[in-house]
A and B are shown apart, each in its own frame.
Chain A
Amino acid sequence: MAQSSITLLSDLTPPSLERAWLTAPHPTLPIVATCSSDKTVRIYSLTNFKLLSTITGGHKRSVRTAAWKPHVQGESVLATGSFDATVGVWRRWDSYGRAEGGSVAWDSHANADTEVDVGAGANGSSRAAAARTGADEEDDDEEWRFAVLLDGHDSEVKSVSWSASGMLLATCARDKSIWIWEDLDDGDNNFETVAVMQEHGGDVKCVAWHPAEECLASGAYDDTIRIWREDLDDWGQVACLKGHCGTVWFLDWESVENVPSSSTNTNTTGEMDEEKRPELVKQWREHHAMSGPRLISCSDDRTVRVWRRLPKEGHAFGANASATTGIPSIIRPTGSDESWVEDAVLPHAHELTIYAVAWSRRTGLVASAGADGRIVVYEERLVPDSKETTKSTSTNDDTADTMDTEITPQKSAPPLQTQWTILAVMDGAHGIYEINHVAWAKRADRGSAEGREAAEEVLVTTADDGSVKVWTFQR
């Protein structure tokens, strides 16, 4: 734990003077959107950590949540959810980069604004972002165009999420419902209600789409996590994950390609045979390909849990399956039902409610934050299957912070173990204030010419006093 550290890079300034709930990093541009109780959304630059613009006038109460639509070229599209029970969709032509003269473009998407593609018949097609100049800076506030207000929820909207393709938007609220909307992309900002799901027994606190498939996860005040898929034209629940004994506040998915660390550069996993490593990674990939990306959740019960789907082929559902679904094991899931099991409980690190958890799509590291004002970074490691190796860790001080988990083999392969370890803890990250959200984002304050740093990530945390801080994580 000692060799890794979380270091403050910068505050985002000026901050909101009221509680900030969440900060959503843009999928391609070095900007973030911060939702505030002052009914606005602030757009900050991750290049110079300054406020770029403020979205106002759309919501009548706190803005609780926001999400950027992926795969939009030349334009940024933001969905916002508010305590006023509505969801807003906002649009703005991408011009932040040139206007500031910064090296903003960090991948081909950001440079693609000459080929404006906002859907057939978009009346804005002629107004290519490339035509913009720095002189437009003054109009920044006007440049966020209010596109549409999605009305349907009966009470506070708590979370919004775009599907991987950007076609579907999921929203959830205190009214216990989840709505799925399809963005018709018809140039008129029309959205169609695809489904309304009301199985949850309490406020739905968060929704999160699978990183590749049209599969939705939700967490709620009823302490459960539910998985939803479309089966012939109907959206329905395919699994109900029980394990938390408190409100589930946040969910995140593992990336499709994630492989736990197999580095030997640690003193907790002991010696790992150099030749064994590629074999372990290969085994891991095989298992992982069958069950798909895992889901991570955090809760009022002060735990962070990892959930894994059992591959459909293997019908060897044991007691685990029935414990998770509540269905006696003799009744096998039929049709679209899925069996999910608790894969791991991360080492205990928080003393109060954990409000957010983020699973890095780039590095596989997990970060959590909560009411105790603490940021914690965890790493998952592959461990050789010999029992001696696991035992040997008990001589280390870190033992209390680690948790062994076993990946049940579907065939006759030997059990593959991973171990979650706390890499770093930052106490009082926002002084005395509670942290409401944590997210990983690509670092952008140094020139992209520094290829060496290309993959470096920062943590972005959002707190009750309105402050948003950017942190580097050093191993």
Chain B
Amino acid sequence: MAEVQNSNPTILSAADLPTRSRSTEKKQGDHKLGIFAAVPQPADFFSSDSEGDEDLLEEPIDEQEIFDLIKNISDPEHPLSLGELAVVSLPDIFIKPTLPAVPNSPLQTVTVLITPTITHCSLATVIGLGVRVRLEQSLPPRFRVDVRIKEGTHSTGDEVNKQLGDKERVAAALENGALMQVIAKMMETCQ
């Protein structure tokens, strides 16, 4: 972190980030952009959107809520949030049933696609880990958290994805003091 890797990132104004009140309009607009190429089953995404109220036991958690949980995480090398840097964005968050074939299963998978500010950013793993940790600590355990680098936005995306998807490595990272200090610092800006 001694050297800033991307000294001139594109910054979005915090006021322009999607919020609950205008989420409906915003999301529909985004759907038309056709940026779902990286998503395996967009159909599942759309249906979960409209049938999300089936879960009567608790207030449903939607994409906007996931976005709100992670948008304020600080970038490890800029005094800016992941939302402002567009590292995380609402259209790149998906919630779908983990086991579609099991109708009663409460399990849901939250997929967050991360767009690093530059394609060789070595901090991508740390950012991904921060997002994963934030969600695992905030969401009920019935959610399976899947944090990945958005396809084509990083030179070693597959490698990073494999690490982020490895439960044992994530668990071990959580017990690593030095790494957790970095993560904790990123979280300071989260309410």
Contacts and interface: CB of A to CB of B under 8 A. Distances in A.
Given A351-B98, A428-B105, A432-B107, A371 B172 contact: no
A433 B141 contact: yes
B52 interface: no
Interface string A144-174: 0000000000011010000000000000001
A247 B141 contact: no
A37 B171 CA distance: 9
B171 A19 contact: yes
A378 interface: no
Contacts of A174: 169, 172
A255 to B, nearest CB: 28
B175 interface: yes
Given A62-B175, A433-B141, A464-B141, A205 B168 contact: yes
Interface in A423-471: 427-428, 432-434, 464-465
B26 interface: no
B167 A62 contact: no
B9 to A, nearest CB: 32
B99 A61 contact: no
B102 A427 contact: yes
Contacts of A205: 168
B171 A62 contact: yes
A372 B162 contact: no
Contacts of B20: none
Which of A37, A64, A428 has the most chain B CB within a 10 Å cutoff?
A428
Contacts of B175: 61-62, 83
A353 B164 CA distance: 13
Range of interface residues on chain A?
Answer: 20 to 34
Which of B106, B107, B140 has the most chain A CB within a 10 Å cutoff?
B107
Interface residues of B, number: 20
Contacts of A64: 168
A154 to B, nearest CB: 13
Contact of B172 (A83, A351, A432, A433): A83
Interface string B92-103: 000000110110
Contacts of A93: none
Interface of A is mostly: loop
Given A352-B144, A432-B142, A247 B172 contact: no
A319 B118 CA distance: 44
Contacts of B172: 61-62, 83, 155-156, 174
Which of A247, A351, A371, A428 has the most chain B CB within a 10 Å cutoff?
A351
A359 interface: no
Contacts of B168: 64, 156, 158, 203, 205
A96 interface: no
Nearest to A158: B168
A428 B142 CA distance: 11
Interface string B61-105: 000000000000000000000000000000000000011011001
A353 B167 contact: yes
A342 interface: no
B51 interface: no
Contacts of A83: 171-172, 175
A352 B162 contact: no
Nearest to B142: A432
Nearest to B175: A61
B61 to A, nearest CB: 14
Rank and list the top 8 A-B pairs by shortest CB-CB distance, nearest first: A432-B142, A156-B172, A61-B175, A83-B172, A427-B102, A351-B99, A432-B141, A83-B175
Interface of B: 98-99, 101-102, 105-107, 140-142, 144, 162, 165-169, 171-172, 175
Interface of A: 19, 37, 61-62, 64, 83, 155-156, 158, 174, 203, 205, 221, 247, 300, 351-353, 371-373, 427-428, 432-434, 464-465
8 contacts: A62-B175, A64-B168, A174-B169, A205-B168, A352-B98, A371-B167, A372-B98, A427-B105
Given A37-B171, A432-B141, 14 more contacts: A19-B171, A62-B171, A83-B172, A156-B172, A203-B168, A203-B169, A221-B162, A221-B166, A353-B167, A427-B99, A427-B102, A432-B106, A432-B107, A465-B141
